[in-house]
A and B are shown apart, each in its own frame.
Chain A
Amino acid sequence: MLTDCPTLRRIVDRLNRYCGRRYPDYFGRAAKHPVRQIKPYKVIHDNIWGTNRYSWRELAIIDSPIFQRLRDIHQVGLAYQVYPCAHHTRFEHSLGVVTVASRAFDALIYRHTKTLETIANERQVKSFPSFVNQLREELRLAALLHDVGHSLFSHASEQVYGDLPLMRSAARELRTLVGVKKGAGEVLSFCVSQTKAVKGLLERAYLRLPDKFKGGVQEIDLDNVSLLIVGRSKHPYMQFMADIISSDLDADKLDYLLRDAAAAGLPLRYDLERYLHSVGIAAGHVPDGDGYLQKLYSRVGTEVERKAATEGIPYPHYETYRLRLPQTAMNTIEQIIICKFMLFSYIYHHKKVRSAEGLLGATLRRLVTVWKGTGKTDEQILEQFLDLTDSSLHSQTLLRNSDSQVRDYAFRIHHRLLPREVYAFVASRHSHAEGGLLSVFIKILQGKDLTHDQNLRERTLRDFNQVMGEELCRIKPSLGSSGQQALWNAGAWLDAPGSPKFENINFLIGAGKQAVRLSEVFPINYWIQAYESHRYAVRVFSFSEHLPAVHAAARIACERIIGAKTDEFYETAERKID
């Protein structure tokens, strides 16, 4: 499958060797796990979804170190520094996604058997029950492995290793392989699922299964599992399966919305039963104007007709079946969207969460610089990230690192000595004449702008921080002799989080000619824009002991970079300094 994807292949090979070296008993040449006879299934109890069964294949993965490490990776990063109970991890989330994904699948089997039989007939499947079993097993395995590539504090570190040239190149290759943009964490999960290490573990698990159960074992296709993780399937008819794992209203979201809210103690709910009652499959088409899918299906050996463009569908395309919700499920969809909004507002964009994760991001970037200084390659750095889990914060890697900068910041995160807000710029608060200048500034900081040579957002952030650093040196020379040093010692930076992504805008409600985009029946655009306009903030942070100096330096940087000069502009944005 990875022909013409040299970077992805390089990462898969590297991960394979890493797994064998790091966990020889599980993935090495003389691997012996699972040591004992494996049970056909086990029951695991979850605080959100109750009692659930996991099959022998899933247990082999769950009991392996590449999955067990997720026990030590907080689902919502450092949010526990604000919400003390938000200690839930990627481990229980991944188990939860398996449960929700298979419940969605079972609901489809129960209510749309005929459509599935049609698909099976079109694919000339010999046994329908065996076909359904295989789909279910592949779906559950993909759900289980979907976050296996995460590193410490989840998305906080993803942004750092995602910036490695190796990962950027891999993300681009994956994008052209499957025709959809995916994050660095998903790229790594995809790569892990492609390793011989995982395949070998599952083969050994089969050998440890009691003979009396072997007869009923369903063969699965690990390539399809990998594709499901990144929102594709080996056959276009099975796209609805990928939609369950990775789409606008996927099992991942359905789990984390409830789990994050429950762990943080937020009274947010949506009606899963109604979702399961409504969810369906509808025939449709997936356009393929750039030929990515044609290449993919050819690589995985799927023979399927690529239809030519027509008047109604102006691109070459494949017939497909997609996950759909009817208009009668609007209440549930609205609940899900509202839950997501609330989580952004309460947790992900909380000023202290941003402060803690900004500090962690700076620490990890510094760590990468130190590693690069010792000659480590991107592949080696990636391995380091796979070694890191949240406990590493207290370990030699961070808290006792030989680099004093890494050590100091890790100490501050560990003891919650977090930077405070100096300024918070919110687009809608500045309605006077200089508000337009702020609009232009914040717009530049949004999204990853595309340029031939350099990223405008990064350049603007760099320019702002450079001016702020130089001014800090001048105002408070004890902070350091260079701008960079002063910024580091003052814990000062300009924070511009990514705006909330609501891909649901394009989610189709209903089927066939009656299908409409969600945005046409629910004013989601207005909600998003109202949220972003009134509640999204670009902030300047500083350690408490340097607030006055950073306050003065940041104002000068703002005057130079944003161009706003009046006191009124800054009074609106400044936070209280004791």
Chain B
Amino acid sequence: MTTGKDISLGQFLEQLVLRFDRDKVTMPLRDEKPWHVFFYSLKKSPEKAGKPTFLKEMLFDWDGPYPRSPELADQINAMHWTGCVKAANPQYDEITLNGTVKRVWSQAKLEKDLSKFVGSAVRLARREFAP
């Protein structure tokens, strides 16, 4: 059972993408900004049960027009080029999940509070990702 204390950024991203896919939240890919702004909001959100511990450790670079986490950028890009998610040309805006990957990621068992936190993060993302 994965808890907020031991989930990693990469695993958290996988669970988010699974929920986005299920709830039909359009995920940006070409434009990274909404992802970084969304994660920065998560980091700054009030402490509550299930909030992943890695968010506390997460540092953002302040060198461009918005806060940017190089670790998050690595994870988002890797998710795409390894074929875990597919994006349609030419916009690269809508992400769809590879079937096998979806099955593997779905096997992760999240502790109740963490699962609730992922749910609230999806609601926040829906607002942040809106065009």
CB within 8 Å of B: which residues of A?
A: 172, 175-176, 179-181, 231, 247, 285-290, 292-293, 315, 427-428, 433-440, 442-444, 446-453, 455-456, 499, 505-506, 508, 517, 519, 525-526, 528-529, 532-533, 536, 563
Neighbour of A437 across the interface among B61, B67, B104, CB < 8 A = B104
Q: Are B81 and A499 in contact (CB under 8 A)?
A: yes
Q: Are B82 and A451 in contact (CB under 8 A)?
A: no
Q: Are B83 and A435 in contact (CB under 8 A)?
A: yes
Q: Are B63 and A449 in contact (CB under 8 A)?
A: no
Q: Smallest CB-CB separation from A456: which chain B residue?
A: B8
Q: Are A528 and B63 in contact (CB under 8 A)?
A: no
Q: Are B101 and A180 in contact (CB under 8 A)?
A: no
Q: Are A536 and B63 in contact (CB under 8 A)?
A: no
Knowing A450-B57, A456-B11, say if A290 contacts B62 (CB, 8 Å). yes
Q: Smallest CB-CB separation from A430: which chain B residue?
A: B83
Q: Are A529 and B80 in contact (CB under 8 A)?
A: yes
List 19 A-B pairs, Cβ < 8 Å: A287-B65, A287-B66, A287-B67, A288-B62, A315-B66, A433-B100, A435-B83, A435-B98, A436-B83, A439-B82, A439-B83, A443-B75, A443-B79, A446-B77, A456-B8, A525-B29, A525-B30, A533-B81, A536-B81
Q: Mark B93-118, 1 if CB is under 8 A from A, else 0.
A: 00000111101110000000000000
Q: Smallest CB-CB separation from B98: which chain A residue?
A: A436
Query: Which A residues are CB-close (under 8 A) to B60?
Result: 289-290
Query: Which A residues are CB-close (under 8 A) to B10?
Result: 443-444, 447, 449, 456
Q: Mark B3-27, 1 if CB is under 8 A from A, else 0.
A: 0011111110000000000000000
Q: Are A442 and B78 in contact (CB under 8 A)?
A: yes
Query: Which A residues are CB-close (under 8 A) to B31?
Result: 517, 519
Q: Smallest CB-CB separation from B54: which chain A residue?
A: A450
Q: Are B62 and A452 in contact (CB under 8 A)?
A: no
Knowing A443-B79, A450-B9, A451-B54, say if A506 contacts B104 (CB, 8 Å). no
Complexed CA–CA distance, A439 and B99 (Å): 11
In the complex, what's the smallest C-beta–C-beta distance from B96 to chain A, in angstroms? 13
Complexed CA–CA distance, A288 and B63 (Å): 9
Q: Are A449 and B71 in contact (CB under 8 A)?
A: yes
Q: Are B59 and A449 in contact (CB under 8 A)?
A: no
Query: Which B residues are CB-close (under 8 A) to A286?
Result: 62-63
With A179-B62, A449-B10, A452-B53 already in contact, 7 other A-B pairs whose C-beta atoms are closer than 8 Å: A172-B59, A179-B63, A290-B60, A436-B103, A438-B82, A448-B74, A452-B52
Q: Are B71 and A447 in contact (CB under 8 A)?
A: yes
Q: Are B57 and A452 in contact (CB under 8 A)?
A: yes
Q: Are B81 and A529 in contact (CB under 8 A)?
A: yes
In the complex, what's the smallest C-beta–C-beta distance from A322 to chain B, in angstroms? 10
Query: Which A residues are CB-close (under 8 A) to B65?
Result: 285, 287, 506, 508
Complexed CA–CA distance, A437 and B103 (Å): 10
Q: Smallest CB-CB separation from A505: which chain B residue?
A: B32
Q: Are A435 and B79 in contact (CB under 8 A)?
A: no
Q: Mark B46-64, 1 if CB is under 8 A from A, else 0.
A: 0000001110011111111
Query: Which B residues are CB-close (under 8 A) to A499?
Result: 74, 77-78, 81
In the complex, what's the smallest C-beta–C-beta distance from A169 to chain B, in angstroms? 13
* Centre residue among A247, A428, A447, A456 by max chain B CB count within 10 A: A447
5 closest A-B pairs (Cβ-Cβ)?
A: A436-B100, A447-B74, A446-B78, A452-B53, A451-B8
CB within 8 Å of A: which residues of B?
A: 5-11, 29-32, 40, 52-54, 57-68, 70-71, 74-75, 77-84, 89, 92, 98-101, 103-105
In the complex, what's the smallest C-beta–C-beta distance from A222 to chain B, in angstroms? 23
Neighbour of B81 across the interface among A175, A427, A508, CB < 8 A = A427
Q: Are B62 and A532 in contact (CB under 8 A)?
A: no
Complexed CA–CA distance, A73 and B101 (Å): 43
In the complex, what's the smallest C-beta–C-beta distance from B53 to chain A, in angstroms? 4
Neighbour of A175 across the interface among B52, B59, B100, CB < 8 A = B59
In the complex, what's the smallest C-beta–C-beta distance from B74 to chain A, in angstroms? 3
Complexed CA–CA distance, A526 and B29 (Å): 10
Query: Which A residues are CB-close (under 8 A) to B63?
Result: 179-180, 231, 247, 286
Q: Are B8 and A293 in contact (CB under 8 A)?
A: no
Q: Smallest CB-CB separation from A453: which chain B residue?
A: B6
Q: Are B78 and A443 in contact (CB under 8 A)?
A: yes
Q: Are B82 and A525 in contact (CB under 8 A)?
A: no
Query: Which A residues are CB-close (under 8 A) to B77?
Result: 446, 499, 528-529, 532
In the complex, what's the smallest C-beta–C-beta distance from B26 to chain A, in angstroms? 17
Complexed CA–CA distance, A176 and B75 (Å): 22
Query: Which A residues are CB-close (under 8 A) to B58?
Result: 450
Query: Which A residues are CB-close (under 8 A) to B84?
Result: 436, 439-440, 443
Query: Which B residues are CB-close (under 8 A) to A434?
Result: 100
Query: Which A residues are CB-close (under 8 A) to B78?
Result: 442-443, 446-447, 499, 532
Knowing A456-B10, A505-B32, say if A179 contacts B61 (CB, 8 Å). yes
Q: Are B6 and A525 in contact (CB under 8 A)?
A: no
Neighbour of A440 across the interface among B6, B7, B80, B101, CB < 8 A = B101
Q: Are A440 and B81 in contact (CB under 8 A)?
A: no
Query: Which A residues are CB-close (under 8 A) to B62?
Result: 179-180, 286-290, 292-293
Complexed CA–CA distance, A427 and B84 (Å): 10
Complexed CA–CA distance, A453 and B77 (Å): 24
Complexed CA–CA distance, A13 and B81 (Å): 44
Query: Which A residues are CB-close (under 8 A) to B98?
Result: 435-436, 439
In the complex, what's the smallest C-beta–C-beta distance from A479 to chain B, in angstroms? 32
Q: Are B82 and A442 in contact (CB under 8 A)?
A: yes
Complexed CA–CA distance, A387 and B78 (Å): 37
Complexed CA–CA distance, A417 and B68 (Å): 42
Q: Smallest CB-CB separation from B59: which chain A residue?
A: A175
Query: Which A residues are CB-close (under 8 A) to B54?
Result: 450-452
Complexed CA–CA distance, A272 and B100 (Å): 47
Knowing A181-B59, A287-B65, A446-B74, say if A519 contacts B81 (CB, 8 Å). no
In the complex, what's the smallest C-beta–C-beta distance from B131 to chain A, in angstroms? 15
Complexed CA–CA distance, A428 and B67 (Å): 32
Complexed CA–CA distance, A536 and B105 (Å): 23
Complexed CA–CA distance, A506 and B53 (Å): 28
In the complex, what's the smallest C-beta–C-beta distance from B51 to chain A, in angstroms? 11
In the complex, what's the smallest C-beta–C-beta distance from A195 to chain B, in angstroms? 26
Complexed CA–CA distance, A202 and B50 (Å): 55
Query: Which A residues are CB-close (under 8 A) to B29?
Result: 525
